Amino acid sequence: MGRALQTFLSDLRAPLERDPAARGVLDVVLSYPGFHAITAHRGIHAIYKAGVPILPRFFAHLVRFATGIEIHPGAVIGDGFFIDHGMGVVIGATTIVGKNVTLYQGVTLGGTSLHEGKRHPTLCDNVVVGIGAAVLGDILVGENAKIGAGSVVVRDVPDGATVVGIPGRVVQVNGKRVEAQPKPEEHETRQQVEMPDPTATLIARLEARIRVLEERLALARASNGVPTIATGEDSLDAAAL
């Protein structure tokens, strides 16, 4: 009972500490759907762990109807969990969330595989996931990481990293800019579905097309006797200088 009370108080303090709009304990208790959802989930998860059939999913469905937040009864969530606003948040069955994690509205902690094992993400302590972001698959998001709004994360995120984009790319680690995306570690036992990167594919095609056009332009200038000056990878018309 003491542990449950400690968790309840930690969840209650979270919006007071992380939301400037919070106007006190009574405000959180009466009007914060994220607090309502996580408080209900604590009890539902206990019923789920006890092996009670049907009821945990039914209760979770009622909470979803009341708050707009869907948390599967099997999700394991640490103390100090805060969902700001919360409408549209979805948390999958095998998700594991550490302490003092913050999610904003529209976040999905989902899966990309149909196997019955671990297929949802693990978020370590102090992670922040921005509006509309999706963290997909059995991946690990390290401590103090930040996921930018609208990002789609399908690979592990190191501690202290900031991730943005579709699919998500690490742009900072502990406040220092990252020029190149670190090579992801191989998933030895995970059945993770690789997600395509349409932006990178499009850029590669454009770069290839530009090289072809530059070669054709250089040939046309040479055939017409127009001198060019090479500057790095570009060729400039001497007359234009």
Distance CA 135, CA 115 (A): 18
How many alpha carbons fall within 13 Å on the CB side of residue 26?
Answer: 0
Homologous superfamily of the 2-177 domain (CATH): Hexapeptide repeat proteins (2.160.10.10)
In the block, residue with structure tokens 């072809």? 212
Helix (H, G, I), strand (E, B) or coil at 31: helix
The pTM of this model reads 0.74
Mean pLDDT by 10 residues, the chain (241 residues): 88 94 94 96 96 95 96 96 94 95 95 86 96 94 94 93 90 78 50 58 83 88 71 46 41
DSSP bridge partners of 170: 163
Residues of the chain with CATH 2.160.10.10: 2-177
Instruction: State residue 201 phi and psi, 5-degree precision.
Output: -65, -45
User: Would you state the pLDDT for residue 197?
Assistant: 59
User: Would you state the pLDDT for residue 175?
Assistant: 78
In this structure, what token pair is assigned to residue 202? 């499009």
Distance CA 209, CA 201 (A): 12
